[in-house]
Amino acid sequence: MSEETKSLNFIEHIIEEDLANGLPKDKLRFRFPPEPNGYLHIGHTKAIGISFGLGEKYNAPVNLRFDDTNPAKEEQEYVDAIKRDIEWLGYKWENELYSSDYFQKLYDWALQMIKDGKAYVDSQSSEAMAEQKGTPTQVGVAGPYRNRSVEENLDLFQRMKAGEFPAGTHVLRAKIDMEDPNMLMRDPIMYRILYAHHHRTGDEWCIYPMYDWTHGESDYIEQISHSLCSLEFKPHRKLYDWFKEHVYEYSKDKLPLPPKQHEFARLNLSYTIMSKRKLLRLVEEGLVSGWDDPRMPTISGLRRRGYTPNSIRKFIEKVGVAKRENVIDVSLLEFCIREDLNKTANRVMAVLNPIKVVITNYPEGKEEWLDAENNQEDESAGYRKVPFSREIYIEKEDFKEEAGSKFFRLKLGGEVRLKNAYIIKAEHVVKAENGDIEEIHCTYTEDTEKKVKGTLHWVSIKHAITAEIREYDRLFSDEAPDSHADKDFMEFINPNSLNIKTGYLEPSLSEAKVGEQFQFQRLGYFNVDNDSTAEKLVFNKTVGLRDSWAKQKPKSQNNQSQQNKSQQKRPPLSVIQQFGKKYTNLPEEKRLKVKAEIQDLAKDVSYDDLEPLFGTATKKAGTRTVVMIALKVLLKNGLERNDAINQFISKAIEDKNELLVAEATDIF
RNA sequence: UAACCUGUGGUGUAAUGGUAACACUCAAGAUUUUGAUUCUUGUAUUAUAGGUUCGAAUCCUAUCAGGUUAUCCA
């Protein structure tokens, strides 16, 4: 029910308006139209989420339509993968459809267009046509075949279909306007000859319709009410509408609803690439193990990495829908998966960088099976037993011989709690000749009520099982790897995006099944990879836990430089101007604070920069006031008065705003 | 330098002429047998300049910035 109070995005506004203007609700129909030439990635999820989400919201059908008009690139493998991914995300399509189902209909309409003089066969080379097309700043010119007779066009087009011509010799073009400022309107190609085997129609056709001719008409045939796509199709809209208006004239009796296209900004994720072509390159050049490599932004990659459908849908919901370019921070995706897994994943203990701890006052050979809560966020998750013994592993970085009071973990002479077990105290260390610590000798107490600051996870060495642990880092070291005109995105590949190690896990994990998800306590969320076998467990690290301790350590270099950057970014005067906008509305206490800040900033402002602001509109009293404050500082620092200054001040004294008058009088 | 689109905290999204809000990030604190979770608090925003209006993020004009468009791809 909280849905009702949620604000609408611009597409929902459009739909609401259409409904208000008389579109019956049962005419609402959407579609998701992938080309089966690659795997779906997180960017597609946005488009999927929008169209299928709208379907769910309005209880309207959503078609899954494969835009399969280019047999050279498309394969059944991709159709299967796309269906699997959409299903996995939890969406249900009304009909599974293919643009290739409409080839005959499209062909019939094309014949009609030719008869109406709206299309013609061109027989030039693609180079010649490109030349005639002009450029964005220069209009195109008509080619020599533009005015062929209807009979000739009809004859040629039918013979194109019959396979009488080699590929590339003729095309069918819409006859629109070679001078249109929108280049897509300069007689776009509708059909080309292609002798390729189509994954559905086989060798039935040797002419294939182009995207613009196919896509909109497929929407129309399916009676899609709102055809939603990403921003780069905006210029296509004019052509979409042109085709639509013509076929509508031919078929309005049977197909009464002309669809409308609307465009939204597609999703970009920081530190990743979204282009299918580029993702394919990563696969083909072996930089990743496949389309479902856990580092890939593909849906299959995210699935294997341990992302849940829930978390991805939540992410898309949070990202929103609008028309401006955007780059979403990966931290939002990480937040969504943590939020989901925090509620559902059972907690277990695993040590990834082990160091041996010997509990000297615990009897040799003794073992205890202690109770451990599976998930404190979920009471129904229950308890399990974990074995404890004299020798355990803890993480290397959980121990320091000496450390300050901010280090809550184990140090010599210090006490720490072992999760689900006892409290131990580090007595001394055993070192190898090279100085490396080999063992930490501790004593334990059974008084677990005692208050200690730190709690560590651990595993009993005798009982531990081993597993391969795959830890991932971002695939690219650059925030926007494919946005550099002068550099190939491959230059930004992070060589350390995969780190494989052996982990020591509590024995309950020997039962873990492929796909099962856990929280390795204090480390992160992990799932069992497909590569796991009965002999060898393999885990993927889905995402780490938030770690405010890790953040503290590199503070000195990291944070400061970041802060400096943001401070340097804006010149002092523009900061002052910003203050000016709200200055007159601030509560007094805050205003004084701001004023002091302005006075401080004004020291770095030159008169030449300030003077233009004397001309600020009369009604913008706030800006004039802060300029006055800044001016005062400049005068105090030795600036000579001139006519412009005097005029500015005397005009201010006559103002109706008291703050401005006060500042001006003060200076006067 | 043609046409079209877009400019709201660091990031993303609301507010549809009437108190600029929500989420993530970041920071501080409380709780905690995970330095997690949870809770509280905080920093920070309408690209610029004019105009219309009692009142502008919203409408108008200009400027600036970014993006898109020239495959027989989709």
Q: Among chain A residues 505 through 524, which have CB within 7 angstroms of nucleic chain B? A: 519, 521-522
Task: For strand B, give the nucleotides within 7 A of a protein CB.
Answer: 1-8, 10-16, 20, 23-27, 33-38, 45-46, 48-51, 53, 55, 66-74
Q: Which nucleotide is nearest to A455 (CA to C1')?
A: B33
Q: Which nucleotide is nearest to A451 (CA to C1')?
A: B33
Which amino acid is located at A518 in the chain? F
ipTM of the shown complex: 0.95
State mean pLDDT over A611-621. 71
Mean pLDDT of chain A: 90
Q: Among chain A residues 625 through 664, which have CB within 7 angstroms of nucleic chain B? A: none
A335 in contact with nucleic chain B (CB within 7 A) = yes
* Per-residue CA distances from A83 to A227, A239, A389, A559 (Å): 20, 30, 50, 44
Report CA(A33)–C1'(B53) in Å, whole number: 46
Q: What is residue A637's predicted lDDT score, i.e. its pLDDT? A: 85
State mean pLDDT over A53-74. 96
A563 in contact with nucleic chain B (CB within 7 A) = no
DSSP code, position A500: E
Backbone angles phi, psi at A358, to 5 degrees: -110, 125
pLDDT bucket at A494, cuts 50 / 70 / 90: very high
Per the model's pLDDT, the better-predicted residue between A566 and A626 turns out to be: A626
Residue A316, sorted as left (phi over 0), alpha (psi -120 to 50) or beta, turns out to be alpha
Beta bridge partners of A313: none
Q: Which nucleotide is nearest to A122 (CA to C1')?
A: B72
Report CA(A503)–C1'(B39) in Å, whole number: 35
| A350-351 β-sheet, strand order | A346-348, A517-520, A524-528, A538-544, A465-472, A498-505, A350-351
Q: What is residue A4's predicted lDDT score, i.e. its pLDDT? A: 41
Q: Mention every residue, 6+ apart, whose C-beta is less than 8 A from residue A641.
A: A635
Q: Mention every residue, 6+ apart, whose C-beta is less than 8 A from residue A564.
A: none
Nearest CA to A47 out of A14, A75, A88, A11 is that of A11
Report CA(A396)–C1'(B67) in Å, whole number: 49
Helix (H, G, I), strand (E, B) or coil at A462: coil
Q: Among chain A residues 534 through 553, which have CB within 7 angstroms of nucleic chain B? A: 545-549, 551-552
Q: Among chain A residues 3 through 62, which have CB within 7 angstroms of nucleic chain B? A: 7-10, 13, 33, 35
A405 in contact with nucleic chain B (CB within 7 A) = no
- pLDDT, one tens digit per residue, over A325-376 is 999 999 999 999 999 999 999 999 999 999 999 999 999 999 999 999 999 9
pLDDT bucket at A558, cuts 50 / 70 / 90: very low
Query: Would you list the DSSP string of A123-156?
Result: -S-HHHHHHHH-BTTB-----TTTT--HHHHHHH
If you measure CA to C1', which residue is closest to nucleotide B70?
A135
Nearest CA to A349 out of A460, A502, A500, A512 is that of A460
For chain A, percent of residues with pLDDT exceeding 90: 77
* E strand intervals along A199-351: 207-209, 226-230, 260-264, 346-348, 350-351
Q: Which nucleotide is nearest to A136 (CA to C1')?
A: B2
Q: Which nucleotide is nearest to A265 (CA to C1')?
A: B6
- pLDDT, one tens digit per residue, over A276-311 is 889 999 999 999 999 999 999 999 999 999 999 999
Q: Among chain A residues 271 through 310, which have CB within 7 angstroms of nucleic chain B? A: none
If you measure CA to C1', which residue is closest to nucleotide B48?
A574
Q: Among chain A residues 107 through 126, which have CB within 7 angstroms of nucleic chain B? A: 124-126
If you measure CA to C1', which residue is closest to nucleotide B66?
A325
Instruction: Say whether pLDDT at A582 is over 70.
Output: no
Which residues of A are annotated as catalytic? 35, 266, 276
> pTM for this one?
0.87
pLDDT bucket at A563, cuts 50 / 70 / 90: very low
Backbone angles phi, psi at A548, to 5 degrees: -75, -15
d(CA A312, CA A477): 23
Least confident of A109-113, A571-575, A622-626, A659-663: A571-575
Beta bridge partners of A171: A122, A192
- pLDDT, one tens digit per residue, over A399-454 is 999 998 899 999 999 999 999 999 999 999 999 999 999 999 999 999 999 899 99
Report CA(A323)–C1'(B6) in Å, whole number: 7
Q: What is residue A593's predicted lDDT score, i.e. its pLDDT? A: 66
Q: Which nucleotide is nearest to A623 (CA to C1')?
A: B49
Q: Mention every residue, 6+ apart, whose C-beta is less than 8 A from residue A560.
A: none
Residues A434, A449: contact at Cβ < 8 Å? no
If you measure CA to C1', which residue is closest to nucleotide B35?
A549
Q: What is residue A5's predicted lDDT score, i.e. its pLDDT? A: 58
d(CA A28, CA A18): 10
Nearest CA to A122 out of A157, A172, A60 is that of A172
Q: Among chain A residues 338 through 377, which have CB within 7 angstroms of nucleic chain B? A: 338-339, 342, 347, 375-377
Q: What is residue A429's predicted lDDT score, i.e. its pLDDT? A: 97
Q: Which nucleotide is nearest to A191 (CA to C1')?
A: B72
Report CA(A608)–C1'(B63) in Å, whole number: 20
Q: Among chain A residues 164 through 193, which have CB within 7 angstroms of nucleic chain B? A: 167-169, 171, 181-184, 189, 192-193
Q: What is residue A639's predicted lDDT score, i.e. its pLDDT? A: 86
Nearest CA to A549 out of A418, A454, A419, A423 is that of A454
Q: Which nucleotide is nearest to A322 (CA to C1')?
A: B13
Q: What is residue A584's predicted lDDT score, i.e. its pLDDT? A: 66
Report CA(A139)–C1'(B3) in Å, whole number: 11
